[in-house]
Structure 1
Amino acid sequence: MPSAVDVGIAACGAYVPRLRLSRAEVASAQAWVNPGLRPLARAERSVCGWDEDAITMAVEAARATLADRDRATIGRAYLGSTTAPYADRLNGGVVSGALGLREDAAAFDVGGSMRAGTSALLAAFDAAAAREDDVLCVAADRRRAAAATQQELVIGHAAAALVVGRGPGIARLLGHASLTVDFVDHFRAADREFDYQWEERWVRDEGYLKLVPRLVGDLLAQTGVAARDIARFCLPSPIRRVDQQVARAIGIAAERVSDPLSDGCGDSGAAHPLLMLVHALESARAGDKILVVGFGQGGDAILLEATGAPTGGAAAGVTRWLDRRASCSYPRYLALDGLVKLDRGIRAEADKGSALTAAYRHRDFLLSLTGGRCDACGTHQIPRGDICVDPDCHAVGALAPHSFAESAGRVATWSADRLTFTPDPPAYYGTVDFAEGGRLLMDFADVDEGAVDVGTPMRMVFRIKDRDPVRGFARYFWKAAPVAAEEA
């Protein structure tokens, strides 16, 4: 139902990892066991690096969304994901900490279904209508698939984020509807690695073609909007062309069906409805009505109307990330996704146990890369200490917190090390000088051979520092990544 208070999307952003896996390479390598993959052997899908997961992608999408906004206005944050790395730890709390949100801003994890992203967005709309604070909604998924399966080619990794608040923003909420039916098209038990997929034709005919028209029909009846008035129809599905078939059943013209982002990304699970929405908003015109459906044990349908207000375009949206790519070979992908066992050598055997007490005491530094700025002389330093490092100052207790997470930096020194263990060698690291002052020894991320040198511009990215395989704990920290040429 439409909200009694006028609410809308105030800002949007996305993130797609830069690594791309060629579907043709996968199909060719697995033709001996599954020749049926050949029809899917076109374009590429997105792949996470070894240090990326649902949390790190959510942070990156949210940073794009919050780039020009005061983060102190965010009063709540929702994270929708079916692959959140922790079953018992507030995953959204890690995202909030990395973004530097207020500690009194509530955080919530939403999961359990492919509609987790749209369900999180519905909760965000309700919260925005009830409160004066803005609400952050992020969805991210890093799903895995067994080798030589159709899912291995269809799945992609991505995240999308929206800020919801009172007022029309860039897209005003017209209404929403939900349908809850225990229709099991696929499932993943709590103790299993991969999804179990049911027969595609039955899922299409009994699921999408019956449940989605019923759901959308309820929404259109509530809002008084005709199907012919829908300008963009966003329906993710791992089944090819089912979005066109559903649109025809509803009465939406074929040309109004949004790009499913199969080329360059793939189906990003709970994130995909919001990812398609962000992509649609990049080019939406004032008055365009956008219908977004999240399918899973029923579904959620959300109807929005674009206002024509600036969205940031490709700079904050999906297009920017799809254009930023680097090839990932199939053997490398299999290793990064843990589908093959590699002999990592004795350097990989070091105990990765984390002292949770120390992690808590230094959480500002670890999560939001907080250093200090001297109130007496203005000198910036990281890590933050009690005494100013300026030799002409040395003020004691005068350093105010200052986050370097959004700071520009340049490489002062660097190394490419094949002796230090890393899941994706070589290990790149070095010293980074920040624009406002301060210097820090950091790991580098997203580095191609020859891409870094002294003076290379760098941006900060939130990533996995390392994993503790014994206890199942991942340590997160910030790394430095080369700035793309168009952003330098």
Structure 2
Amino acid sequence: MVSILAYGGYVPRLRLSREAIVTANSWFNPALKAHMAGERSICNWDEDPLTMAVAAARDCLTGVAKESVTACHLASTTLPFVDRQNAGVVAAAAGLPETATTMDVTGSQRAATTALAAACRDGSGRTLLIASEKREARSGAPQEALYGDGAAALLIGPGPGIARLVASAGVAVDFVDHYRAPDHRFEYGWEERWIRDEGYQKIVPRALEPALAEAGISGAEIDHFVMPCVYPAVTRSFARTYGIRPEAVSDTLQAVMGEAGAAHPLVMLTRVLEQARPGQKIVLVGFGQGADALVFEVEEGIARLEPRIGIGGHLARGRPETNYQKYLAMNGLVDQEHGKRAEIDGQTALSTLYRKRDMVTSLIGGVCRTCGTRQFPKSALCVNPNCGEYDSQDDYPFADEPARVLTWSADHLVFVPTPPAHYGMVQFDGGGRFMADFTDVAEGEVEVGMDMRMEFRIKEMDSDRGFRKYFWKAAPARQG
């Protein structure tokens, strides 16, 4: 038997008001007023699909022995590297062993559901499946309001867990509702009626009906029907057709975050698992150049799972953002003047990155085996003046260590895309100090003694060479 063993999620803190989007653009497209209500999640300037994937993976691995994970699969259509394995970066940052196999799964909006079905059929080890998406849209396009950024992660492996796969079915159909070529930043989509009537209505049943038949259940027995779709009428239509109770149709989260593309099936599934009870039946549908349908039964282990932040916790900590111009600037949708301080060459020495990969990507420092002093970065000499032992450092991971602000500064002279730059010294609770950049804070919010946690983020962008530098920053541990 193969089961989902754990789940985790991540939604960026910032929520862009759809009213701000509509107000800025409805002068030339009045139809946008139909999308006035609610808000969508948006990445901070230092977030992308990889950083969100790491956050979701860390949440999923709460209370899990990381050395037990044998594979890490990352599903997305917006991965930052075309020729560098993105899953490898995530696995290292999440603290997985180098023996874990890594794989990028991409090219379709149902990449995550296809990967989930494959992982459940495999069952040879523990697979960490992460789906993360940051879809871009032109300024003023309806998709700008409908999309949202987010990630979710599932740990799948043999034995009893929190939900087991009962049945699955899938079809591959080259139905092109939208597409994006490698040399194009934005996708091109076809009309809604075509997608609804010829796509969802005719393709999804070819996966859903055999999955229900294999599971031996009717629509009335479904407790949670999870089907991402930006067209609410489509989901309601399926519920009526298959006799699914209206209260069993899961919230698409459109009002509070928008749709996170290939990640959204796992985002919605994670939200459902946060509230599910043993014995309940969950049906998950993924759509995109075909369809996947998976039927799960919630197991007793759901009640024993260690608490995690999940999708619900991240949604609850949202921070409103009404400055549409700031959103455009953070996403490079306007050609903004950054001044002379932004003109420093940002080339990365790839040889140094490789040699220091444990420190840079995994935030590995040292602990002295003689006196127990922890320090970051790791060095040949113990920093304890009462010890001073040479070559006594063992690896010590700091990524999950709680920390507090020891000193801080808010600097308007240093260039960052969203000034001021916050940085300072943080003191780890178990010992060790780290001079870190701060993220997810606004001016006036930082104070000495503030609880912090480490977050994997973009340090800076080398736009000349198309390289992103990742490192760890300190963020408030409790955000509201």
Q: TM bucket by the smaller chain?
A: over 0.9
The equivalences for 1:251-262 within 5 A come to: 251-262=243-254
Give the conservation status (yes or no) of the 8 Å contact 1:18–1:324. yes
The equivalences for 1:153-192 within 5 A come to: 153-192=145-184
Greater CA drift, 153-162 or 444-453? 444-453
Corresponding residue of 2:5: 10
Corresponding residue of 1:442: 436
Corresponding residue of 2:67: 72
TM-score normalised by L of structure 2: 0.98
> Partners of 1:161 and 1:477 in 2: how far apart?
21
Corresponding residue of 2:472: 478
Greater CA drift, 204-213 or 239-248? 239-248
Which residue, out of 176, 186, 195, partners 2:187?
A: 195
What is the CA distance between 1:405 and its match in structure 2?
0.1
Corresponding residue of 1:95: 90
The amino acid across from 2:99 in the alignment is: D
Corresponding residue of 2:52: 57
What is the CA distance between 1:394 and its match in structure 2?
1.4
> Partners of 1:82 and 1:485 in 2: how far apart?
29
Q: Kindly provide the CA deviation profile for residues 386-413 of structure 1, in whole angstroms up to 9, marking residues without a partner as x.
A: 1111112112222110010001111111
The amino acid across from 1:92 in the alignment is: A
Corresponding residue of 1:85: 80
What is the CA distance between 1:251 and its match in structure 2?
2.7
> Partners of 1:406 and 1:173 in 2: how far apart?
31
Corresponding residue of 1:398: 392
Give the conservation status (yes or no) of the 8 Å contact 1:283–1:313. no
Percent identity between the aligned chains?
Answer: 48
**Pair 1:291-2:286 in alignment:** no
> Partners of 2:148 and 2:241 in 1: how far apart?
27
What is the CA distance between 1:453 and its match in structure 2?
1.2
Corresponding residue of 2:355: 361
The equivalences for 1:421-436 within 5 A come to: 421-436=415-430
> Partners of 2:306 and 2:378 in 1: how far apart?
36
What is the CA distance between 1:301 and its match in structure 2?
1.0
Give the conservation status (yes or no) of the 8 Å contact 1:173–1:305. yes
The equivalences for 1:119-158 within 5 A come to: 119-127=114-122, 129=123, 131=124, 133-158=125-150
> Partners of 2:233 and 2:268 in 1: how far apart?
15
Q: Kindly provide the CA deviation profile for residues 418-449 of structure 1, in whole angstroms up to 9, marking residues without a partner as x.
A: 11111111111111111111111111000022
The amino acid across from 1:82 in the alignment is: T
**Pair 1:327-2:320 in alignment:** yes
Q: Kindly provide the CA deviation profile for residues 275-307 of structure 1, in whole angstroms up to 9, marking residues without a partner as x.
A: 100011111111110011110001111110011
The equivalences for 1:1-40 within 5 A come to: 6-40=1-35
Give the conservation status (yes or no) of the 8 Å contact 2:317–2:479. no
Corresponding residue of 1:3: none
> Partners of 1:314 and 1:322 in 2: how far apart?
16
Which residue, out of 310, 316, 322, partners 1:317?
A: 310
> Partners of 1:140 and 1:468 in 2: how far apart?
22
> Partners of 2:356 and 2:56 in 1: how far apart?
24
Which residue, out of 231, 237, 259, partners 1:245?
A: 237
The amino acid across from 1:407 in the alignment is: E
Q: How many residues align?
A: 478
What secondary structure, in the 3-state scheme, does the structure 2 residue paired with 1:283 have? coil
Corresponding residue of 1:106: 101
Give the conservation status (yes or no) of the 8 Å contact 1:235–1:243. yes
Flag structure 1 segments of 5+ consecutive residues without an equivalent.
Answer: 1-5
> Partners of 1:45 and 1:113 in 2: how far apart?
22
What is the CA distance between 1:253 and its match in structure 2?
2.0
Instruction: Please tell me the root mean square deviation across aligned C-alpha atoms, in Å.
Output: 1.2
What secondary structure, in the 3-state scheme, does the structure 2 residue paired with 1:216 have? helix
